[in-house]
Amino acid sequence: MSEQEILLKNLERLRVNFGLNLTIINNLLKWGTHKYSRIHSGKQDPTLTDLIAMASLYNLLVSQLLSSELKIPNLNSISAELRTAASERIGKPDKQYVKRDLISHLIIILNTHFKINDTFTNLQIKCHLTWELQNHYKTKSIEWNKSILKEYVVPTKSTQKAATKSQIVYQLIRPITTKMVEHALKTIEKENIASENQSE
């Protein structure tokens, strides 16, 4: 897992743990309306100043945000502003889950992390999903043959051992088109905006 993927996963773990939405985080950090969602979706790289601000919010060091062994801080150790916001969320019902288009996320993953003839398992693909999506799709399989990606990803005759059962090995046989990537990015951006604009 890359340093960026670890960062995004940790940020999502922290956000979900304290029951925050993207609007609250933007407000606490005094950022523009959609800045956090752009960083979260990978469309904008955070600056060192951004990383320090996000880490300080949770009373963490930047190095801790980039660690794959991050320990979630307790409520008493985070910043006063965040503690107030998180406390106000306690007891409130969970928000409705914003429907996510898995295929759009798979398109971006394939285009970003794999090249023609690369092989992979569904488990390896899911490792590139955000923490929220990993949690949502952890018990669901990726049905390549029932999607628009069926002409791009095909099963091989190989399997790979996993923790509970063997995983089918797939292969990327065609390049993902620019048009597909552009459409997927627009879909993901709409999802992020919908999530950010959810009412309290």
pLDDT along the chain (200 residues), means of 10: 84 83 85 83 86 92 92 83 74 54 91 94 86 72 91 94 84 95 89 63
Residues 89, 119, single domain; the answer is no
**Res 60: pLDDT:** 92
Assigned domain for 172 exists: yes
94, 127, 147 — which closes off a domain? 94
Residues 90, 12, single domain; the answer is yes
Helix (H/G/I), strand (E/B), else coil: 75: helix
**Res 94: pLDDT:** 46
**Res 199: pLDDT:** 42
Assigned domain for 200 exists: no
Q: Which domain holds residue 187?
A: 102-195
Using a cut of 0.75, tell me whether the model's pTM lies above it. Answer: no
> Residues 16, 17, 22, CA angle at the centre, nearest 5°?
35
Residues 77, 154, single domain; the answer is no
**Res 130: pLDDT:** 74
**Res 93: pLDDT:** 47
94, 123, 148 — which closes off a domain? 94
- In sequence order, what are the beta bridge partners of 153? 172
Helix (H/G/I), strand (E/B), else coil: 92: coil
Cα distance between residue 38 and residue 40, in whole Å: 5
